[in-house]
Structure 1
């Protein structure tokens, strides 16, 4: 990589990191590219050189810092694991990622109904890609004869939805104020329930 390429890569990374920080604090609607440029120590035109628009920057922030790249990297690791062990690893990584990114998740919860249509469309396509990625694992396990026949994408939605519901209740609905829970025990229970409904 040449010096110019390294400089461009460094600038892009800094813009993404700053975008994540400000989107997490002020939301997509409350953050301007001018603010991101100022915080990143760069010119606003540099942002548009790398990302074309604020919408594209937001999309890249989600693609870079969400569960999607983690899941894509995880599937080869769990491919040869026992099914319940693989589900446990996926669940743990999913909840860990949600915990680290809870600020941006919280503010997206608040403002998502006010997003422009093109942002909603992009967001839904992004979520669908996560489900499809996990569904590919279920499909592989079906072909191996480990799992019964079912709609793999629906199963992916059910599994991650179950975990997200737990995270949402714990982090945003103040569940933790009223009860002490053991995340490991919760994950084990969820995995046992899900596995019993999907294994042959």
Structure 2
């Protein structure tokens, strides 16, 4: 595992504190104590607390990109990605979906980031927009585009892909919140996820389409 530099330690420590105490409830002194450095050392890397918060958002973009590379998801042109899903069995769809789910269910940085945005969205409209982008709108947009292409390729029946995306993702979003922090329930939640995907596929799969 690559050793963290001081700046990254500050960011991850700030993320941890912001996710439990909130932005306003965390002082630079608290952060310095958490990192194990002097308060003045924080200012060698960041102008102020707001700069730390803003840098967390930038850091998480890179963090997500690196995580996605490790999940072995279909890559390339969107038509090809949809084709990979269309050609794969229902187990393939579950494999990809469960990998994404577990990243958000088990990854400590991911969990802290979600909690931080959840806390701050109620006092800051910009943070609310960021929360919705990361955990709702971007995902729904991607799935809508994916299902649109899969309908074109004959994998799914003709229907409204936006509604499909809502019906696919809403239970997954609910499970993430319902089982938040319950790591001992991993097997249970994955079983529910598999049943959801099977039922979704049986509802929308076109006869003669993707493998079952």
Tell me how far apart the structure 2 counterparts of residues 83 and 55 of structure 1 sit (CA, whole Å).
Answer: 42
**How far is 1:194 from its partner?**
1.2
CA contact 2:105–2:181 (8 Å) conserved in 1: no
Structure 2 equivalent of residue 6 of structure 1: none
Q: Which moved more, 1:20-29 or 1:9-18?
A: 9-18
The one-character-per-residue Cα deviations of 1:59-110 (angstroms, maximum 9, x if unpaired) are: 235535569953995532694251522331233123312322445545655x
Aligned length: 186
Higher helix share: 1
Matched, 1:162 2:162: no
1:147 correspondence with 2:146: no
Query: TM-score w.r.t. structure 1 length?
Result: 0.67
Q: How big is the shift at 1:35?
A: 3.8
The TM-score normalised by the length of structure 2 is 0.64
**1:166 Cα deviation from its structure 2 partner:** 2.4
- Asked if residue 124 in structure 1 is aligned to residue 132 in structure 2, the reply is yes
Match of 1:114 among 122, 127, 131: 122
In structure 2, the partner of 1:13 is 8
1:22 and 1:31 in contact (8 A); partners too: yes
* Cα-Cα RMSD: 4.0
Task: Specify which of 72, 97, 107 is matched with residue 103 of structure 2.
Answer: 97
1:115 to 1:186, Cα distance in 2 relative to 1, 3 A: same
Structure 1: runs of 5+ lacking an equivalent: 1-8
Partner of 2:17: 22
Structure 2: tracts of 5 or more residues without a match: 207-212
8 Å CA contact 1:15, 1:47 repeated in 2: no
CA drift of 1:191 comes to 0.5
Residue 31 of structure 1 is aligned with which of 26, 29, 32? 26
Q: Which of the numbers 74, 78, 83 marks the counterpart of 1:76?
A: 74
Query: Per-residue deviation at 1:38?
Result: 5.1
Q: Which moved more, 1:154-163 or 1:69-78?
A: 69-78
Q: Which stretch shifts more, 150-159 or 120-129? A: 150-159
